[in-house]
Structure 1
Amino acid sequence: MNTTETRPSRAELLRRASDLVPLLRKHAQWGDEHRRLHDETIEAMADAGIMKMRSPARYGGYESDMRTVVDVIAELGRGDGAAAWTAAVWAISTWMMGLFPDEVQDEVFATEDVRVTGILSPTAMAVPTDGGVVVNGKWAFNSGAPQATWNTNAAVLAHPDGSHEPVMIAVPLKDLKIVDDWYTTGLRGSASVTTVAEDLFVPQERVLSLVPVLQGQHESQVNARSPIYGAAFMPTACATISAPVAGLAKAANDAFFERLPGRKITYTSYESQQEAPLTHLQVAEASVKTDEAVFHVGRTADLLDEKSSRGEQWSLQERARMRLDLGAACQRAKEAVDTLNMASGGSSIYRDVPIQRIARDVQTINLHAILHPNTNYELYGRILCGLEPNTDYI
């Protein structure tokens, strides 16, 4: 374990992420075609310290604040949406490992730059047995699982008295069956496959009751003193996975302007698309919506850091607004990408033109259940109207 490196500043981590953008772009099409991240992409992210941002400091991690995390992940999204998404999921799951008992963390973080992925939906069943639980079931959309080492997955624990309880389990990937079913239109490089547990024994120390976790309680004694591990669970998870869309909106802008010089608008008198008033309106609109996406991602991240440093609780309206920010960031980023995609012409449909992949990736993120704009807007509207939330994931 490397505990000698000084924790890099936000500016330094952001510079490292920016330096990765050309490499991520180089391998993005490869990842799209092979449905996983290129090994060189993963190695480069590890070398840049991306895997350490949410690892405990005693294992050589940085315990980076949330604003640093979202800014870095958004910058990765400028290079490759799938790489940014996978890095975001690994960041959340690595942070979640910090909620488990310290002896579990000793096992997990014995591997430097360990990659942890996970699923919050309890789509497996667990039954008590001597010393732990036996788990059967599967988890779909398990991003980066084929290239990860550990899984933090949710399950439903069936108690002998007939009651049920959601739990979080920590499982080595080698103990799970991987189903290669990630044949999708977007985020293809994220390898978000299905993992399966078959009569899998999980020791009791690697089983957490999920409700206390969602309420900000956890089993780690050492990490209890760290601000990032005292942060609210759902705002932390949501802020992290909202970051890739901000990067994708910027990526669309980069991709559009790279192809703009010398292009004309076919079947019009414009020999230069760059001189058309329509283009001016399109790029300005996309710029504004990109800025709005960045704002919504940043507002939640800043509030998280502020509340974590002060040890303050979240109000229900603040939690609902966090989900609003999540949906708004996704919607505005998609609108920005769609505008530039429509302005890119017929030749942009070829696979080697980045804008078509960017559009598919941002569309896919907008369809995620916890990110879906309409779902999140409705939730916030319910709270504004004095109603109870229609979800526990807040």
Structure 2
Amino acid sequence: MKKPNPLLEDLRAILPAIAANAAQAEKDRMVPAENIALLKSIGLHRAFQPRPYGGLEISLPQFGDCIALLAGACASTAWAMSLLCTHSHQLALFPARLQEEIWGANPDATASSSIAPFGRTTETDGGVLFSGEMGWSSGSDHAEWAIVGFRRQNAEGGQDYCFAVLPRSDYQIRDDWYAAGMKGSGTKTLVIDNVFVPEHRIQKAKDMMEGKSAGFGLYPDSKIFYAPYRPYFASGFSTVSLGIAERMLEVFRDKTRNRVRAYTGAAVGAATPALMRLAESTHQVAAARAFLEKTWQDHAEHGERHEYPSRDTLAYWRTNQGYVVKMCIEAVDRLFAAAGGTAWFESNEMQRLFRDSHMTGAHAYTDYDVCAQILGRELMGLEPDPSMV
């Protein structure tokens, strides 16, 4: 039985306003400030923030329900907001000193990210000098901090994949987000020029995946921080895909019910092909939700038991979400292909859902070709391929 989720009811109350801003989000190529303010007014940005700073520390099932519902109103807003939320989980695994810098001064602060290790660094006393053009930073216009990736030489002569955390004053935002999908997510480039990053703002990615980071164990009573960062970081991608697919079912049904063919006057909504497409996509989306909910619940139960996930569990969590995205895109495509020419008009919500759906499958973490290889190697008892993260 699901636990009560008061955030969900608060979210329902503001969804009409967020949905009404969807066209504006696409036009501006960023999430409208009004949407962020509305979501902060119900405390969604505090979902994975530590309780000592006013955070809610809600479970992943509760968070997933919120993001899926939000995605049905505006997928771009849901994509950006989910990341602003999940980054707080990652920050909670950094040293206490950094958390105090972020939330001690501003409990409402959030962070965007560009975690692919493209940053360039030079070692210096007490930290590194960081430079780089860090792309794909969703929601960056609304964040006070940024988490960025780089590789750092280690004592063994190799390199460690690391994260650095920078305040907004240390980078510029390049307005270069011109995309066919998730147009309103504001997924822009952070430009960083020779900025000093002290050691307490740096952590190894491997440590954050193995319970060895400086902030691990800071919140012993928490049910969400006894976990690696990545499953939380990536949780929104499949959840947004699910929300889009669930909304597509509604829109297709409403549009098709009274649709007639232009040349014959035949009622499309009563025709066998439309009924069969709607039925199959409905089953597929329901299966996707059930599979994702089972995965969310597994996350939550591990947290409740303070059981750190095993390697094979992590492989399933990662690849389950990739398969959910695959199913959701297939369900959307099946309906869109039968929606007629008017579905392609920019004023028609269905073309936006179609575009945004495909964007959910374009992220490195939702590429099912990669996910299938990761799980296949795990199932065959092979060591993980380091070229697949």
Calculate the TM-score normalised by the size of structure 1. 0.92
Q: Distance in 2 between matches of 1:161 and 1:284?
A: 57
Aligned position for 2:303: 308
SS at match of 2:148: strand
2:225 corresponds to 1:266: no
1:228 aligned counterpart, secondary structure: coil
Report deviation, 1:80.
0.8
CA distance in 1: counterparts of 2:220 and 2:335, whole angstroms: 45
| Aligned-partner SS, 1:230 | coil
Give percent identity, aligned residues only: 26
The alpha-carbon distance between structure 1 residues 392 and 310, as it changes in their structure 2 partners (threshold 3 A), is farther
Rounded Cα–Cα distance in structure 2 between residues aligned with 1:284 and 1:393: 36
State the shift of 1:265 in Å.
2.6
Q: Judging changes above 3 Å, is the alpha-carbon distance between structure 1 residues 319 and 132 closer, same or farther for their aligned structure 2 residues?
A: same
> How far did residue 393 of structure 1 move?
6.4
> Which amino acid in structure 1 is aligned with residue 204 of structure 2?
S
Query: Which among 219, 222, 229 is matched to residue 226 of structure 1?
Result: 222
Q: Deviations over 1:324-349 (max 9, x none)?
A: 21111101111111122122210111
Q: Is this contact kept in 1: 2:226–2:307, CA < 8 A?
A: no
d(CA) in 2 for partners of 1:306, 1:30:
40
* From 247, 253, 259, the counterpart of 1:257: 253
Contact 1:282 1:340 in 2 (8 A): yes
1:4 match: none
**Is residue 352 of structure 1 aligned with residue 331 of structure 2?**
no
CA displacement 1:142-183 (0-9 Å, x = unmatched)? 111122111111211235885432221111122112121111
> How far apart are 1:257 and its partner, in Å?
2.7
1:114-139 per-residue CA deviation (whole Å, 9 max, x = no partner) reads 22111321110223212221111122
- Aligned runs of 1:1-394 on 2, under 5 Å? 10-109=4-103, 110-158=105-153, 163-220=158-215, 222-268=218-264, 270=266, 272-391=267-386
The one-character-per-residue Cα deviations of 1:287-341 (angstroms, maximum 9, x if unpaired) are 1111122123212211111111112232332222222211111011111111221
Unaligned stretches of 5+ residues in structure 1: 1-8
Worse-superposed segment, 250-259 or 179-188: 250-259
Find the aligned partners of 2:352 and 2:255 in 1 and give their Cα distance.
15
1:233-265 alpha-carbon deviations (Å, 9 max, x no partner): 322223333211110011112222332342113
Please state how far the C-alpha of 1:355 moved relative to its aligned partner.
Answer: 0.8
C-alpha distance in structure 1 between counterparts of 2:17 and 2:254, whole Å: 17
TM-score normalised per structure 2: 0.93
Gap runs ≥5 in structure 2? none
Pick which of 310-319 and 52-61 moved more.
310-319
Deviation at 1:202, TM superposition (A): 1.0
Q: Root-mean-square deviation (CA), in Å?
A: 1.9
| Aligned-partner Cα distance in 2 for 1:42–1:30 | 14
* C-alpha contact 2:257 2:270 (8 A) present in aligned 1: no
SS of structure 1 residue aligned to 2:225: helix
